[in-house]
Chains A and B, each alone.
Chain A
């Protein structure tokens, strides 16, 4: 029971970080069918910008998050305009994989050229530093904050996709891009907006999740496949699926690390193989 109580908050927090970062990729893959291995690179840019804002500019934590998200979206614009646009919906996976690996390498190289090859601290505000008394046991306040961020992101996205004009256009483009275009939806704009949303969410997740996935020079390479795996398990384009996959994989990974630390990622990938083999389109995905 004690172990279970120890594992659950960590697993939940880790799962929520995975969700916050991966959900952007999931929406992007559901809509544009781009296997984007550079998603982690944008999370890394967010982490770098937040670290820079906090340590060099001395702004407060919320402002730093804002700077990171907006800054990353701005940085991503030329990539979208020059590169991603060419591979939306039409290229085969191999082209997409290679192009986005190229982008990742490029971003890792540039980020380290500018900011130096050291890991980047993202100091927490005092409010989130201490432990928090849940009544049952103490857990770090930051864990709660991350879990809260994940829940808020999920609800906000659900509202955006189900209840707004933009969501209607997005769902129309997902279901049938050509027909949506024929009906007067400017799909290119929907794609670009979705890309910006995905990148912004990646940056947000990169900053708030920095305690669990520390921001360091090879961040983009280290977690390159993790986010893709989450999306694939959950099913591309599904918010529910991404949430389920993140929590499940977060649980598998954290439990494995608690109970059999010597086997590290073994359980994580066993879970992935079993799930993908049984549900090739993901837990909540649709066949295209």
Chain B
């Protein structure tokens, strides 16, 4: 636990702005490539973006705060159900639906955070599982607001800003999703450099030391959980807007476990790692699972074992470390 994960000192304002612009440009360019190269797979890409929010949200609590959780999908699912319900109640504006998802996610994050971050280790893990399962059981049974096992269907959002209608090919949905992702990502990248987030990293690296220098650990973790809940709820609402249905799978244990796998594949403690992990996992899933669901399980199991044993910091962090090494060697020469 003594290894420090903070490698860079807080940057100057100008450098921060430059990084934000680069990040925005990268997401915009990759989004455009997706739009023009895979025009027939936009539904799949939208699904990936929705899940990416869940993984990024998980990164905020797992990667930045060191909270081991297997119940994170609850935050995502509640956001999705909330957005679906306000839409069915007549509030069809997508922006308002997203806002509802954010509020619902934050509230769920608050409850979950109060419960989960109180402990460390096994009790923490079990409480996170129990919270997730509790929400899943409720979603299954409160069929008047969740549609039960049939799912909440018939969500028909209105046009974005009253102008851009959602079309059946998912073009509007895709562009809308990319823009929301871009805004969220840039905001979170800024947030991740804030003193607050850096202090969360300190808590992760050495809770005792953080407490000794006067950090109020529990309240900070709860606040971070609320932020994560907002991001996950946003993703849930976005998925509800785009697909028009919310199923039980959006709160299920499998979703939580998959999100954790995606995060570890990409690399925890790095928002880009979370994003890339989600994309890699879903691409892999898309192609292998089409062949056979059980081959998929064998392969993902093996991949997970290999990553955990040989690249414990995740693929993205591994690649950036290698590039860093290479640069240093070149500079030394």
Contacts and interface: CB of A to CB of B under 8 A. Distances in A.
A276 B126 contact: yes
B70 A280 contact: no
A236 B300 contact: no
A229 B126 contact: yes
A269 B137 contact: yes
Interface in B231-281: 253-254, 257, 260-261, 264, 268
A277 interface: yes
A167 B232 CA distance: 48
B122 A236 contact: yes
B305 interface: yes
Contact of B125 (A97, A109, A217, A263): A97
Contacts of B62: 94
B131 interface: yes
Given A99-B304, A108-B297, A109-B295, A273 B254 contact: no
Contacts of B302: 102, 106
A103 interface: yes
B158 interface: no
Contacts, number: 129
B159 interface: no
B147 interface: no
B39 interface: no
Contacts of A102: 300-305, 308
B324 interface: no
A272 B125 CA distance: 12
B121 interface: yes
Size class of the B contact interface (CB-based, 8 Å)? 35 or more
A95 B309 CA distance: 9
A107 B131 CA distance: 27
Interface in A111-128: 112-113, 117
Given A104-B301, A276-B126, A99 B309 contact: yes
A18 to B, nearest CB: 15
B129 A225 contact: yes
Contacts of B127: 273, 276-277
Contacts of A270: 134
A228 B129 contact: yes
10 nearest CB pairs, A to B: A106-B301, A102-B304, A109-B298, A105-B301, A109-B297, A280-B123, A232-B126, A102-B305, A112-B294, A272-B130
